[in-house]
Chains A and B, each alone.
Chain A
Amino acid sequence: MPKENPLRGVAFFQGLDKAQLEALTGALVFEEHPDGHVFAKAGRAGKREKDALHIVLEGRVAVSTKPKSANQVPVARLMQPGELFGLITFLKGGQRTATTAASGKVRVASLTRERYEQVVRPNPALHSALLFAIASQLARDVRACNERLVKAIRKAE
Chain B
Amino acid sequence: MYLMCVFELKRGDVLVREGEHTESLYIVQQGALRVTVGRDGGSVELPEVGTGQWVGEVSLLDPGPASATVSVLRKTTNVLEFSHGALKDFLRTNPAGACVLLEALASDLAERLHRTSDGLIRVEGGHAQQTAPPTPEQHGWFTDMLLTLSGRGD
Q: Bits for A122-157, please: 1 = Cβ < 8 Å to B, else 0.
A: 001101110110111011111101111110110111
- Taken together as a complex, chains A and B put the C-alpha atoms of A127 and B99 apart, in Å, by 7
Considering only CB atoms and an 8 Å cut-off, how many residues of chain A contact the other chain?
Answer: 43
Q: Are A153 and B91 in contact (CB under 8 A)?
A: no
Stretch in contact with the other chain, from A22-30, A33-41, A64-72, A101-109: A64-72
Indicate which residue in B62, B114, B121, B123 contacts A153 across the interface (CB closer than 8 Å): B123
Surface stretch bound by A, among B7-15, B26-34, B74-82, B141-149: B141-149
B3 at the interface (CB under 8 A from A): no
Q: Is the contact region of chain A dominated by helix, strand, or loop, or is it mixed?
A: helix
Is A7 among interface residues, defined by CB-CB distance under 8 A? Answer: no
Q: Is the interface of B mostly helix, strand, loop or mixed?
A: helix
Q: Which chain A residues lie closer than 8 Å to B61 at the CB level?
A: 132, 135-136, 138-140
- Contact between B125 and A67, CB atoms less than 8 A apart: yes
What residues of B have a CB within 8 angstroms of the CB of A15 in the complex? Answer: 91
Partner of B120, one of A69, A97, A149: A149
Chain B residues with Cβ below 8 Å from A140 are 61-62
Q: Which residue of B lies closest to A77 (CB)?
A: B117
Given A128-B95, A139-B57, A145-B117, A73:B103 Cβ within 8 A: no
Most chain-B Cβ atoms within 10 A of its Cβ — which of A97, A127, A128, A148?
Answer: A128
Q: Is the CB of A131 within 8 A of B106?
A: yes
Report Cα–Cα, A22/B39, bound state, in Å. 48
**Can you list, as one digit per residue, whether each of A65-87 has a CB less than 8 Å from chain B (1) or not (0)?**
10111011111000000000001
Q: Does B109 contact A (CB under 8 A)?
A: yes
Bound form: Cα–Cα A131–B130 in Å: 41
In angstroms, how far is the closest chain B Cβ from the Cβ of A145? 4
- Residue pairs across A and B with Cβ atoms less than 8 A apart, 19 shown, are A67-B125, A69-B125, A75-B117, A91-B106, A124-B95, A124-B99, A131-B99, A132-B98, A134-B102, A135-B109, A138-B113, A139-B58, A142-B109, A146-B67, A148-B124, A152-B123, A152-B127, A155-B127, A156-B130
Supplied contacts A73-B121, A75-B121, 8 more A-B pairs, CB within 8 Å: A73-B125, A75-B120, A92-B107, A98-B117, A127-B95, A132-B61, A146-B116, A152-B124
